[in-house]
């Protein structure tokens, strides 16, 4: 166990906890407009004060954590579910035409970054959390495919796989029984790092108005809405900004720490990816 891993786990744990608690309890209704409480100073049940609509910042941050995790889980889920099998196929048949095709398509998808896809999807279907998640997810597929492929190629030359192949096991069985468990740790590491990137992407999209719709709290939009008050009430920008930074830091540290913890030798593969 290293310090980074612990720090990462704690930060991520806080975000998850805040999100889970927000389902059953927040200090105040995070979307309730209260003119009397406009720009309320911190204190008196409002731990971090309120925004210009009189909405409790702390409650908004808690529900914002939910939005953040929601986007991250769905986006990373899409990427992992599509990218992993493709990468494994490519890794198990490294010289075949299928592998070549997969990796070329992969390169092509890579040419559509999350922001571009989100703007395009938003233009067609209307911007919102769903389009943002799908866009970020699809744009993350190549990262998963590449990691899965690289790890699979390493696993494929190990003795037990060679033995399994010699024993005439079917490929699907080998993939599920032997390859997947062995590349799992790499995928978890990649998921953690992708999660961090997804959080940043959601924030950028919300900033541009292509992310989560108002009034659902989102850290990115809180930051965007706080801009006009940066001069007079900087804390409104401080808290969501800090939340984003700490969450991203947490997932990155978690990813790095997990990598070192699970398999120090795997460092190289990732670095060369």
Query: How near is the Cβ of 17 to another protein at its closest, in Å?
Result: 19
Backbone dihedral angles phi then psi of residue 50, each to the nearest 5 degrees: -135, 160
DSSP string computed for 104-118: HHHHHHHTS-HHHHH
Query: How near is the Cβ of 142 to another protein at its closest, in Å?
Result: 10
What are 67's two structure tokens? Answer: 């939005």
Residue (66 or 146) nearer to another protein, CB: 146
Cα gap 254→260, rounded to integer Å: 10
Query: How near is the Cβ of 153 to another protein at its closest, in Å?
Result: 14
**For residues 193 and 251, is the Cβ–Cβ distance under 8 A?**
yes
Helix (H) or strand (E) holding 131: helix 129-156
Query: How near is the Cβ of 68 to another protein at its closest, in Å?
Result: 12
Residue (111 or 166) nearer to another protein, CB: 111
Binding site for another protein (CB under 8 A): 31-33, 35, 38, 52-54, 104, 107-108, 110-113, 115-116, 119-120, 122-124, 126-128, 196, 200, 203-204, 207-209, 213-215, 220, 223, 227-232, 237, 241, 244-249, 252-253, 267-268, 271-273
Residue (207 or 261) nearer to another protein, CB: 207
Q: Quote the DSSP letter at residue 211.
A: S
Nearest CA among 137, 129, 134, 111 for reference residue 209: 129
Residue (76 or 205) nearer to another protein, CB: 205
């Amino acid at each position: 166990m290293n310090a980074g891993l612990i720090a990462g786990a704690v930060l991520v744990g806080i975000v998850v906890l805040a999100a889970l608690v927000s389902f059953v309890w927040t200090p105040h209704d995070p979307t309730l407009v209260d003119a009397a409480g406009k720009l309320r100073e911190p204190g008196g049940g409002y731990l971090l004060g309120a925004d210009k609509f009189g909405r409790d910042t702390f409650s908004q941050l808690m529900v914002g954590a939910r939005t953040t995790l929601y986007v991250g889980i769905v986006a990373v889920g899409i990427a992992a579910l599509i990218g992993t099998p493709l990468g494994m196929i490519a890794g198990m048949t490294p010289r075949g035409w299928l592998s070549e095709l997969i990796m070329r398509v992969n390169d092509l998808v890579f040419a559509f970054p999350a922001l571009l896809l989100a703007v395009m999807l938003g233009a067609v279907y209307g911007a919102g959390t769903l389009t943002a998640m799908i866009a970020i997810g699809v744009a993350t597929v190549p990262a998963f495919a590449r990691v899965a492929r690289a790890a699979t190629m390493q696993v494929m030359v190990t003795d037990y796989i060679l033995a399994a192949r010699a024993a005439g096991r079917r490929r699907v069985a080998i993939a599920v029984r032997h390859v997947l468990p062995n590349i799992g740790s790499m995928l978890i590491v990649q998921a953690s790092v992708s999660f961090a990137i997804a959080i940043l992407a959601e924030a950028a999209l919300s900033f541009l108005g292509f992310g989560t719709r108002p009034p659902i709290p989102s850290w990115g939009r809180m930051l965007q809405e706080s801009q006009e008050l940066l001069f007079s009430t900087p804390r409104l920008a401080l808290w969501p900004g800090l939340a984003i930074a700490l969450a991203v830091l947490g997932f990155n540290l978690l990813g790095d720490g997990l990598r070192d913890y699970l398999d120090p030798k795997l460092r190289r593969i990732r670095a060369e990816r």
